[in-house]
Amino acid sequence: MVTSLLVIVIVLAVAFDYINGFHDAANSIATIVSTKVLSPFQAVMWAAIFNFAAYFYFTDHKVANTVAKTVTENFITLHVILAGLIAAICWNLMTWYYGIPSSSSHTLIGGFAGAGITNALLMGAHPLDAINSGYVIKIVAFIVLAPVIGSVISVIITLIIINLSRWARPSTAEKWFRKLQLLSSAALSFTHGGNDAQKVMGIIYVAMISAKVVPAEGTMPEWIPLVCYIAISGGTLTGGWRIVKTMGSRITKVTALEGVGAESAGAVTLGITEHFGIPVSTTHTITGAIIGVGMTKRISAVRWGVTINLVWAWILTIPVSAVLAAGIYLLINALR
């Protein structure tokens, strides 16, 4: 029974990674599509290639380790992981359907934590005993910090680019910015793959530990990162067209110059947070970066009404996913 349940959990985890790919594809391609540097098909191909290329570079798996330790080991079971994954998949599909660029990362973490807390309550333990507060506080803090950091870096990079290019002829500058956007988009997709694929790696690894297939202090089997990177890259190829419009034009109009600034800022932010093992939201990061380039023109260039609606989605993602996972876990527990 454990073996078959483990297989189901792994299949759902890989499915979530695939959904994460097409849900978050918009983060990588929205600006390069809106500036018409690449067609939508070319853009998803470009993003998918660099999503997978991250497999060969990000080998420390610090983010995976953080996600795996979100819930205390004593309260992790395959049923807890199963409930968390189902909740995360449901929320991701719903937000994708309505074109809301919510965080796949926080959906997964919220679902995992919600099911773990419910298990602790059923076992008669204090709910806070189920979560490692140090890891959770760090994750929650970066709901705010990631977009702020992305925005600040974006403003700095964009202003530097504007000053460096002020003496160039507009037509020449535009041509160079369109070429540079290929590099900045590749960098964003590369760091997106390195950050987001690791989250599912952590879930699969902790599931295998829970099923006693691998020892708790052992190394992660090499097939886990490979499968996760293939899944997220495959999902990216499917695209996330409902979210592209929101990210690419509804927050603010983006030129090729501003696309370079936003994508570069997003890539730098994701690279820094991955180095420190912090599972941040790519969605939050690139949104903050796009807001930053908008503010370099004028504050009113940012459509703050759209932005506020996005912030509400960010705030609700973890608690809604947690409550959904709690209900699913109770149902699974009742049917066992």
pLDDT tens-digit map of 178-216: 888 888 888 988 988 888 888 888 899 999 988 888 887
Q: What is the mean pLDDT of residues 58-73?
A: 83
Per-residue pLDDT tens over the stretch 104-125:
778 888 999 999 999 999 998 8
Share above pLDDT 70 across residues of the chain, in percent, rounded to a whole number: 88
pLDDT value of position 298? 65
Burial class (CB in 10 A: 0-12, 13-18, 19+), 295: middle
> Cα–Cα distance between 193 and 17 in angstroms, integer?
10
Per-residue pLDDT tens over the stretch 263-277:
888 899 988 988 888
Nearest CA to 234 out of 26, 6, 15 is that of 15
pTM for the whole structure: 0.84
> Cα–Cα distance between 44 and 25 in angstroms, integer?
7
pLDDT value of position 120? 93
* Residue 289 contacts residue 262 (beta carbons within 8 Å): yes
Find the domain containing 173 and state its range. 2-335
Cα dist from 72 to 67, 112, 206, 267, whole Å: 11, 11, 11, 31
Cα dist from 304 to 102, 168, 200, 311, whole Å: 17, 32, 33, 10
Domain count, the chain: 1
pLDDT band at 249 (very low <50, low <70, confident <90, very high): very low
